[in-house]
């Protein structure tokens, strides 16, 4: 699994380069995200490359938010394809996680 981290002011923008985020690779995702979550408070995860996400992938996103919240941090997601966005909406996670169309919108959402 390949992750990239780009700073945008005080926001870390994480690019996730994997076709599917599912039970087969969420443990690896969480492991690779751990140091990023420890180091930053404001994180945007760009899911543009992800075409499929299952319940364990959704749970991994929620886990990231849970790790950031106690230290006053927040998580925003961007670049969701229609099927990925549908998965978030199906389990009502779009009400818990902040979803944006573009990286720029997600980063800007931290300023308001």
Name all domains of the chain by residue range, CATH numbers in brackets.
2-109 (3.30.750.24)
CA distance 39 to 34: 9
Average pLDDT over residues 49-67: 98
CA distance 14 to 6: 6
pLDDT for 8 beyond 80: yes
CA distance 104 to 99: 12
pLDDT value, residue 87: 97
pTM: 0.96
Average pLDDT over residues 12-41: 97
pLDDT value, residue 66: 97
pLDDT value, residue 112: 74
Q: Mean pLDDT score of the chain, rounded to an integer?
A: 97
CA distance 26 to 20: 10
CA distance 14 to 100: 14
Residue 62 sits at φ, ψ, to 5 deg, of -65, -40
CA distance 80 to 88: 10
């Amino acid at each position: 699994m390949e992750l990239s981290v780009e700073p945008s002011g005080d926001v870390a923008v994480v690019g996730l380069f994997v076709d599917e985020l599912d039970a087969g690779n969420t443990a690896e995702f969480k492991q690779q995200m751990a140091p990023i979550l420890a180091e930053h408070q404001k994180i945007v995860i760009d899911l543009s490359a992800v075409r499929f996400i299952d319940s364990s992938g959704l749970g991994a996103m929620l886990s990231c938010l849970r790790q950031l919240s106690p230290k006053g941090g927040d998580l925003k997601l961007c670049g969701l394809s229609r099927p990925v966005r549908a998965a978030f909406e199906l389990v009502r996670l779009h009400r818990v996680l902040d979803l944006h169309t573009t990286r720029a919108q997600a980063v800007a959402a931290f300023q308001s």
